Structure 1
Amino acid sequence: MKRPPSALYPSRRVSLLAVCLIAGQVLTACAGRPGPETLSSVTLTDFEPKRVETLYSVTTRNRSEPGKNVFGFDKTLEPNYARFDISIPPNHKPANIEWPKRKTVDPRTDFAVLSQAVLQREDLLQAVRAPKAAVPVVFVHGYNYNFQEALYRLAQLNTDSSVDGIPIVFSWPSFAALPAYVADKEAAAYSRDALARLMADLVTARKGEVDVFAHSMGGWLTVEALRQLKLEGRTDVLNRLRVIMAAPDIDADVFTAQLDVIGRMHIPIVILVAADDRALQVSSLLGAGTQRVGALDVRDPDVAAAAKKAGVTIVDISSLESADATNHNRFFDVKQLSSALSKPAASASLGDAGAFVFDAAARTISSPFSLAATVLRQR
């Protein structure tokens, strides 16, 4: 994906005041964020949850205590593996995680862990190899996440999408602190080889396709893992991966260089973007004004041409309601998104490279340029 004319990546000016406002909003949202106590197992008594999700975790975080599934931000040389059964409460609302409002977890109103186990690598691969096992779906979280936030976010995404898969969270050792952007980037880089190995393990064990869904800085980590696989000559793995990235926090020039190494994927990478993503505007400012891939404008013909040339699919999802003022977490509303993506017309579009727009009201996906042409014909 050779870089198009510089007009493709306009410099976005973000004032210091805007940075402070966004930081304040994020800090407010993170006030009282969930601690490891939310992963303590509870017992159901005379109660039927809405749904129970069985999730697996692979993490480059070290265990805070040997033999327990409590993970902080310390790094480990070899990934740790675990399994969790998480109940979804009847009052669950799409795109939301019902965190406990008190010290004790109540499965009637909260996401809750019913059971859990410490696993080894082979335990996960056996689950993937099992007869009639579903497609593994790997979720790679972004910057400023702790382990329990990443795990429960995957539970929410899996419940709302009703996807019949084997959900696996790949949790890298984010510091889960707003000022730790640079430290998080290094922690993500530390985890590149482990993610590449997980992708190879799952493809080999399944002997079929594997889905990878990455958010924000997790998108950068995912593309780095794809690049690593290419350098290792693992085209057999790359050809079996279906990759979707939401709001990837990647410098556009870096992404171009990464794709130059990876080449065209057998299944095009799908990138969910929104030009009004304020978190990525702050990231751009921290990067001296560099354009972030997750904030590209699909209505720019140069962006569409570059996407086609690189063999990637870019979808604007700005019509989805944002979960917060940063406009960085629209993918939380996976129920609306997945219903549109599963339509035959959408599947055909997403099999092609280029730029598209998701219409939340109509739940359709179409080319922004065909939309423009339709409007012009009606005049």
Structure 2
Amino acid sequence: MIYARLVLAALVIALAGCAPRPDDGLLLPAAPENLSPHAQEVTVMTISNRNRTGPDGQFYGTAHSEMHREEFVIAVAPAREDTGSLLFDRDLSRDFAVVSRRALDAPDWHRALRAQHRTADQPIVLFVHGYNQTFQESLFRLAQISAGMASEVQPILFSWPSQASLMGYVADRDSATVARDDLAQLLRDLHRNMPNRDIMIAGHSMGSWLVMEVLRDLRRGGENRLLRRIQVGLAAPDIDVAVFRSQMAAVGQLSRPLTILVSQDDIALGMSGRLAEQRTRLGALDASDPRTIALAEELGVRIIDVSAFPAADDFHHERFLALAAFHPQSAMQASIIDQLRFAGAYILDTSGQVLRREITDDF
């Protein structure tokens, strides 16, 4: 077992060397002359329980702290000729720049958010990142997805203190655990400030586990009115299947079926499963397997296999970016996924058409 873990660690390090990470300095507003005149600007509201570091506390660290709230305007450069037009094929250290940022207290942060939600049916969109993520990585990824939306959304990033280290898996799980109360309070505050808005939560990887734990706590706390406003999507969730079944038993059915994006060749989840004594992760399920179909029927969830989409990273762990690129509205709002009204197991082809569906009862 020790040898196997050393081999896995070596593989992780080798794969990670392929992707440059944006450094802290990219959080500082760029000079106007350094911005592309054709860049698309995206406003992202952020809330984080990371500690502040660097000069004047302008960077985000890996320790826990009180909640910090900001409003960022991000410039997303147009696709370069050498990468084509695919949204997900972006260099986080080159294709994004901070145009402006401002720190806000809680009342001003919510006022700014309400001002940006001008239409009554515009949902609140909340992204919770996963393991091994810096603040700026998750910020730019969310800006990247939002820039591809065909309809207007106002994204919110909840950033918990990941160690941003390949060897920090256990520490990240502990940090995600500590972040449960902060995320739950954020959801309560959003609902209190905009009670008639739906809240769409997208959790990625370990962030999916954090989302499920918070939903479980809210249900056990009797906050059913808030839960009726929540829609959930889990991308490549790093959750043990038995744990997920237990979480769903506590959460119960939501206003719309919970959606799970899975991929059988997700290297990151494969390694996570092997380190967990060969226990398959939820995000690595086979949608054609009768056991997966039975799970979707048992729990009333939508399990969607996106293995046919191009991999957006070396770990095949960020295919949700490819889904956003090919179907801009489907990542967090309507279109392909929203049309799958039934709980069940689905397999998509590269064009987003359903190759196979195993449908349960209408939700």
TM-score interval, smaller chain: 0.7 to 0.9
Quick check: 1:49–1:87 contact (8 Å CA) kept in 2?
no
User: Which residue number corresponds to residue 250 of structure 1?
Assistant: 239
Residue 40 of structure 1 aligns with which residue?
A: 28
RMSD over aligned Cα atoms: 2.4
In structure 2, the partner of 1:97 is 90
Which digits, 9 at most, give the CA deviation of each residue in 1:75-104, with x for residues without a partner? 01x311111111111335410333446xxx
CA distance in 2, matches of 1:343, 1:235: 24
Could you tell me how far 1:321 is from its partner in structure 2?
A: 0.7
Q: TM-score, normalised by structure 1?
A: 0.84
Query: Displacement of 1:142 after TM fit?
Result: 0.6
2:125 aligned with 1:124: no
Uncovered stretches (5+) of structure 2, i.e. residues with no partner: none
Equivalent residue for 1:74, pick from 40, 44, 63: 63
SS at match of 2:74: strand
Describe the shift of the 1:340–1:205 C-alpha distance in structure 2 as closer, same or farther (beyond 3 A): closer
Q: State whether structure 2 residue 326 is matched by structure 1 residue 348.
A: no
Offset, 1:369: 4.5
Counterparts of 1:163-182 in structure 2 under 5 Å?
163-182=151-170
SS at match of 1:75: strand
Query: How do 1:143-292 and structure 2 match up within 5 A?
Result: 143-206=131-194, 207-292=196-281
What is the SS of the residue equivalent to 1:266?
coil
Tell me which residue corresponds to 1:63. 52
Using the TM superposition, give the Cα deviation of residue 300 of structure 1 relative to its aligned residue in structure 2, in angstroms. 1.2
Residue 79 of structure 2 corresponds to residue 88 of structure 1: no
Distance 2:349 2:137 in 1: 29
1:302, distance to aligned residue in structure 2 (A): 2.2
CA deviation vs aligned residue, 1:309-338 (integer Å, no higher than 9, x gap): 211111000000112332111112112144
Distance 2:354 2:130 in 1: 25
Cα distance, 1:172 vs structure 2 = 0.4
* Whole-angstrom CA distance in 2 between matches of 1:300 and 1:23: 28
The aligned residue for residue 141 of structure 1 is 129
Change (3 A) 1:189 1:205: same
Q: Tell me, in whole angstroms, the C-alpha distance in 1 between the residues paired with 2:107 and 2:15.
A: 38
Comparing 283-292 and 127-136, the one that deviates more: 127-136
Identity value in percent: 34
How many residues align? The count is: 345
Q: Map Cα deviations across residues 109-131 of structure 1 (whole Å, 9 max, x no partner).
A: x3111110011122222133336
SS at match of 2:342: coil
Alignment partner of 2:347 out of 338, 351, 357: 357
Aligned to 1:104: none
Highest relative contact order (Cα 8 Å, sep 6+), 1 or 2? 1
Question: Which position in structure 1 is the counterpart of 2:15?
Answer: 26
Equivalent in the alignment of 1:8: none
Normalised to the residue count of structure 2, the TM-score between the two structures is 0.88
1:344 Cα deviation from its structure 2 partner: 6.0
Which structure would you say has the larger Rg? Answer: 1
